A and B are shown apart, each in its own frame.
Chain A
Amino acid sequence: MELLLQRCFDGMFNGAIYASLAIAVVMIFRSTGLLNFAQGEMAMMSGYVALVLLSSGGVAGTGIAGWLPGHPWPVTIAIIGAVIFGFVLGAAVERFVMRPLEGRSALSQVNVTIGLLILLNGLTLQIWGSNGRFFPSPFPADIDDFISIGGARLRLTTLGVWGVLIVVIAVLGALLRYTRTGLAFRAISSNREAASLVGVPIGRTLTIGWGIAAGIGALAASLVGGAIILEPLTMMKMLIYALAAATIGGLDSPKGAIVGGLIVGLAQSLVPGYLGVPTELSILPPLIAMILVLVVRPHGLFGTRPIARV
């Protein structure tokens, strides 16, 4: 029982990270019908930017960041900086890369996001090298920072990450619900052509949407730092978990993204423990779940069942 609880708590931390990245993926999929394969790498770059903002030296780019007032920044402020960087990066990608390709085949849009994945990964490797970097957690992360529940340790970082996730969902929900841009975004998601006919500014709204999605990704990459070490391959694995989460939940459902993230996170900590799958192969359970969902129920748990006229 204690062990079960412990494993659940461990899985919940990862689950929150996957869920945030999955929300970013879902936001873009809902509005544009596109899977952004570069989402993870955009997030990773932002994570490194956070690292630059909070380090006093030893990381490429701290020299440039040095003239920023008060640099090196405390962790929380640095993460906000990274989120802003992520927003700008995401918006720029939409405006200057994706927008000109509007109306081109789905294949060329996929190709571009794959190109961006390779490019951003290469750039990160080029700038910051392949060595893993320790990234401090914004929450108390010492060995004794935990709440004991039924003998299992619920770490404060896990609580913190879930707190942030809930805030993000609330803010995002409010943005979509109560702002003009949010309304426009929902309109585009539900029917793009009709939205454009009634004068919704498609381009501007999508730019903001991509920016927000990348900002959420940046947050995920910065928060994951508390648990693992940032290195250029980190986010590629994160991405496949996030994509699995988004698929299991239903690619166009934000609610599904969160539930999916939790499922993948828990599966990752429970399945190796109980079914004897070696930890190294923890990528297999989410992957198999994703394949099964795609084959049997492509719209996932909460997604819209696709209806096609033939």
Chain B
Amino acid sequence: MSRRTKLGFAVLALVAIALPLISDDLTLRRQTQLIVLVLAVLGVNLITGYTGLISLGHGVFVGTGAFAMANFIDWGLPAWAALIASTVFVGLVGVILGLPGLRVRGLHLALITFGLALAFPPLVRRLGKLTGGTTGRDVDIEFMPPAFLGIDEHAQIWRYVVCLAVVSIWFVLAWSLVNSRMGRALRGVRDNELASAAFGINLTMAKTGAFGISAAMAGTAGALQAILFPFVSHAQFDAFLSLRLYAAAVLGGLGTLAGAIFGVIALITVPTVNDALGLLDNEAVVFGLGLVVMTFVAPDGLAGLFSGAGQDPDSGDSTNTTD
């Protein structure tokens, strides 16, 4: 682990500890909701950054996760089981919706996923029994700390800690995934499909697997959102959510795990800065402008901006080999 990475971890840990201390309950809830979105951004990063399949539809998976959670809780599953069940369920949905990705790549896949993102809210409105139709539905859960801890008055901090733990688990899984044989296979698929196939990589398995895992991540994010704020409706999961997730993944930096964290930092800071300056009452302008500007000044995203300037001498990855 390089010095820079260690420093990054230290800063993250500090921020993670400081957040509940400096924020009031309401802000902390809002921040927790955004922090769980890091999983959705991580999902986009895995499928677009690592595997090279553009997904403009990850909001669909977040939404499916949220509605799945609501229904699994209806069935009487305990929260943790419902969380795992919705994650698995969304993973399967991702495998199915990712099937076109086996034959279609690049722009065309972007098109399909964008279409799915647009079709999701009307579909949800039609599935009234499961999703609450046009009005939305409550999620029948109180996300409270267990009684023996006796910290009921700090429930918000408990929720924050639980969500952070789930997010961390996914990050560890993602980290070991991208550094495994499968992770190398995904990058191979991204860089040259034919060559990877020639090296014996099973393209079908690699792509559907990547889609499934990436969707499952987004599904966990949705499921957590559904219990953080126990009300879900189609309006929360419109096409703009998908676009925002994609924008966050690109802004953060595709193809690095740190990129997802940076992306969510962008997701959190943009509205905050917006509020503070009071310039614009919609963040879309900032996101859009950010995406355009970043493509020019930092094509590798914020993560690239922070790591590109000075490569670690001990990482063995020198950019100035010609000198």
Name A's B-contacting residues (CB within 8 A): 34-35, 37, 97, 100-101, 104-108, 110-112, 114-123, 125-126, 236-237, 240, 243-244, 247, 278, 280-281, 283-284, 287, 290-291, 294-295, 298, 310
* Interface SS of A by simple majority: helix
* Interface SS of B by simple majority: helix
Partner of B100, one of A37, A118, A294: A294
Partner of A121, one of B104, B254, B284, B286: B284
Closest residue to B246 on the A side, CB-wise?
A114
CB distance from B268 to the nearest CB of A (A): 17
**For the complex, is B290 an interface residue (Cβ under 8 Å from A)?**
yes
**What CA separation (Å) do A142 and B298 show in the bound complex?**
53
Given A110-B107, A291-B100, 20 other A-B contacts at CB below 8 A? A101-B295, A105-B299, A110-B54, A114-B243, A115-B290, A115-B295, A118-B240, A118-B288, A119-B289, A120-B288, A121-B284, A122-B285, A126-B280, A126-B285, A243-B111, A280-B125, A281-B126, A283-B115, A284-B123, A310-B194
Please indicate which of the listed interface residues A107, A115, A237 has the most CB atoms of chain B within 10 Å of its own CB: A115
| Residues of B109-123 contacting chain A, CB below 8 A | 110-112, 114-116, 118-119, 122-123
The reply to whether A118 and B247 contact each other, CB–CB distance below 8 Å, is yes
Query: Given contacts A37-B114, A104-B299, A237-B118, are A119 and B284 in contact (CB under 8 A)?
Result: yes
CB distance from B84 to the nearest CB of A (A): 30
CB distance from B57 to the nearest CB of A (A): 11
The 7 A-B pairs with the shortest beta carbon distances in the complex, nearest first, are A119-B288, A122-B284, A115-B291, A118-B288, A122-B285, A115-B292, A287-B115
The number of residues on chain B lying at the interface, defined by a beta carbon within 8 Å of a beta carbon of chain A, is 45
**What CA separation (Å) do A115 and B122 show in the bound complex?**
24
CB distance from B197 to the nearest CB of A (A): 11
CB distance from B283 to the nearest CB of A (A): 8
**What CA separation (Å) do A94 and B299 show in the bound complex?**
19
The reply to whether A126 and B289 contact each other, CB–CB distance below 8 Å, is no
**For the complex, is B211 an interface residue (Cβ under 8 Å from A)?**
no
CB distance from B64 to the nearest CB of A (A): 16
- Residues of chain A within 8 A (CB-CB) of B126 are 278, 280-281
Q: 1/0 contact trace for B261-287 toward A, CB 8 Å? A: 000000000000000000011111111
The reply to whether A125 and B291 contact each other, CB–CB distance below 8 Å, is no
